[in-house]
């Protein structure tokens, strides 16, 4: 049988669907409730058109950016996604090796099936994604582990007062990991604690977090511009415009639609990053032109991992890199830092 060439991220999505256990495939693919936001994260990019310039005399594009003190080879980082060992036996360790090879940042998930120490040992620039736990002493111990492992920043997820409602998982009755897999960053004195959400967390807890660590704190899950202003006022090092991949509150706007208002609210005081729906290099260019410093990819990383472990993740990242460079060349830009909103034709009334 001839194996089809995997030429783009969608090819990896289709191939991963054939490889993954159907229950786990639905876990990775699914969103909240009717999955309206999940779909909109991708289709919102399709409604934005590129308006290229010509005869600009630009050299090969410079893709490098600095992400909160971490120099990267391109403005694409790995967003935190849970349970990589559901996709491949090496899990997050293989993902981290691919991130290191690509020269970019990986955000290690709190719900990782490989401990942060082992992930960090793969040599990538690593940030640590954190859910504040009601037991703040335990939360502090997790932060200390991440810092000791060499993580360069904390990424506090702020859009999860409670767990999202995932009807695909409910239909499968998928509510715990298979035997032998655990959330390794939740180990405490030999036991693995469950991750807990709480609606009682507030901005004062960000102050507490900053008091127990010297690491820069990035807030992930910002959609409202007023929250972006509060993030700046409370000393956040950056914000990530994100709706949790459509997995928390359904019918929130696509991340790309929320981006411009957040960028305006921040006013250049801190970097604005984005994740949600990035599937092509053209998507990356559109986000950067609207003011994002860099974008994160989540599900595409898992698809690559399922198909061919770390090599599959590397292939996905290099496809996006090549598409990004190709798009910049055709648009007449010599650097990702040159991109401006004038490159885009936006749908009336949406932005």
Res 349: pLDDT? 86
Q: What is the pLDDT of residues 323-340, one digit of tens each?
A: 999 999 999 999 999 999
pLDDT at 347 exceeding the cut of 90: yes
CA distance 326 to 74: 13
Section 48-56 average pLDDT: 97
Decide if 259 contacts 290 (C-beta within 8 A).
yes
CA distance 205 to 211: 10
The pLDDT confidence band at residue 188, using thresholds 50, 70 and 90, is: very high
pLDDT at 34 exceeding the cut of 90: yes
The pLDDT confidence band at residue 3, using thresholds 50, 70 and 90, is: low
The pLDDT confidence band at residue 1, using thresholds 50, 70 and 90, is: very low
Torsion angle in degrees (nearest 10) through CA of 141, 146, 148, 149: 140
Section 260-272 average pLDDT: 98
Res 52: pLDDT? 97
Phi, psi of 111 (to 5 degrees): -90, 45
pLDDT at 63 exceeding the cut of 70: yes
**Contacts of 204 by beta carbon, 8 Å cutoff, 6+ apart:** none
Q: Domain extents for the chain?
A: 9-47+65-316
The pLDDT confidence band at residue 190, using thresholds 50, 70 and 90, is: confident
CATH architecture of residue range(s) 9-47+65-316: Alpha-Beta Barrel (3.20)
Q: Which residues pair with 217 in a beta bridge?
A: 154
Res 249: pLDDT? 98
Cα–chain center distance at 149: 21
CB-count burial class (<10 Å; 0-12, 13-18, 19+) for 231: buried
The pLDDT confidence band at residue 4, using thresholds 50, 70 and 90, is: confident
Res 2: pLDDT? 53
The pLDDT confidence band at residue 74, using thresholds 50, 70 and 90, is: very high
Res 37: pLDDT? 98
| Average pLDDT of the chain to the nearest whole number | 97
The pLDDT confidence band at residue 237, using thresholds 50, 70 and 90, is: very high
Q: Which tokens belong to 15? A: 């191939």
CA distance 340 to 170: 43
Section 123-149 average pLDDT: 98
Section 235-251 average pLDDT: 98
pLDDT at 171 exceeding the cut of 70: yes
The DSSP code for 74 is: S
Residue ranges of alpha helices (H) inside the chain are 9-19, 22-29, 36-46, 91-102, 116-120, 136-149, 167-172, 203-211, 225-233, 255-266, 281-289, 299-331
First to last CA, the chain: 48
Decide if 52 contacts 330 (C-beta within 8 A).
yes
pLDDT at 219 exceeding the cut of 60: yes
Q: Which tokens belong to 173? A: 């009755």
Decide if 107 contacts 127 (C-beta within 8 A).
yes
Q: What is the pLDDT of residues 83-120, one digit of tens each?
A: 999 999 999 999 999 999 999 999 999 999 999 999 99
Res 351: pLDDT? 85
DSSP-based three-state secondary structure for 217: strand
- Element housing 192 (H / E): strand 191-192
DSSP-based three-state secondary structure for 72: strand
Q: Which tokens belong to 201? A: 């967390």
Section 315-319 average pLDDT: 98
Decide if 262 contacts 241 (C-beta within 8 A).
yes
pLDDT at 350 exceeding the cut of 90: no
pLDDT at 233 exceeding the cut of 70: yes
Give catalytic residues, as residue numbers: 244
Q: Which residues pair with 239 in a beta bridge?
A: 219, 272
How would you classify residue 7: left for phi > 0, otherwise alpha for psi between -120 and 50, otherwise beta?
alpha
187, 193, 260: which is closest to 223 by C-alpha?
260
pLDDT at 253 exceeding the cut of 90: yes
């Amino acid at each position: 049988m001839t194996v089809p060439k995997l030429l783009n991220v969608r090819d990896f999505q289709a191939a991963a669907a054939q490889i993954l256990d159907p229950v786990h495939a639905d876990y990775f693919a699914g969103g909240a409730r009717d999955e309206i936001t999940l779909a909109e994260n991708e289709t919102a990019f399709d409604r934005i058109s590129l308006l290229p310039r010509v005869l600009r005399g630009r050299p090969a594009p410079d893709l490098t950016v600095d992400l909160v003190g971490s120099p990267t080879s391109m403005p694409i980082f790995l967003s935190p996604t849970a349970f990589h060992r559901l996709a491949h036996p090496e899990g997050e360790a293989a993902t981290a090796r691919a991130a290191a090879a690509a020269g970019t940042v990986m955000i290690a998930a709190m719900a990782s099936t490989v401990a942060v120490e082992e992930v960090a040992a793969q040599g990538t620039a690593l940030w640590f994604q954190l859910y504040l736990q009601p037991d703040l002493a335990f939360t502090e111990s997790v932060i200390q582990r991440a810092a000791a492992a060499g993580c360069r920043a904390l990424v506090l997820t702020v859009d999860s007062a409670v767990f999202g409602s995932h009807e695909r998982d409910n239909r499968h009755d998928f509510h715990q990991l298979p035997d032998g897999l655990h959330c390794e960053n939740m180990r405490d004195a030999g036991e693995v604690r469950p991750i807990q959400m709480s609606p009682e967390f507030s901005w004062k807890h960000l102050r507490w977090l900053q008091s127990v660590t010297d690491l820069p704190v990035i807030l992930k899950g910002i959609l409202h511009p007023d929250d972006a202003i509060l993030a700046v006022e409370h000393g956040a090092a950056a914000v990530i415009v994100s709706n949790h991949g459509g997995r928390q509150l359904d019918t929130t706007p696509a991340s790309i639609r929320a981006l411009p208002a957040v960028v305006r609210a921040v006013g250049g005081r801190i970097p604005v990053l984005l994740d949600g729906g990035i599937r092509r290099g053209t998507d990356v260019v559109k986000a950067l032109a609207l003011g994002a410093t860099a974008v994160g990819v989540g599900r595409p990383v898992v698809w690559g991992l399922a198909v061919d472990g770390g090599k599959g993740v590397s292939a996905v990242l290099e496809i996006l890199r090549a598409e990004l460079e190709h798009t910049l060349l055709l648009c007449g830009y010599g650097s990702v830092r040159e991109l401006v909103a004038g490159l885009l034709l936006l749908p009336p009334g949406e932005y």
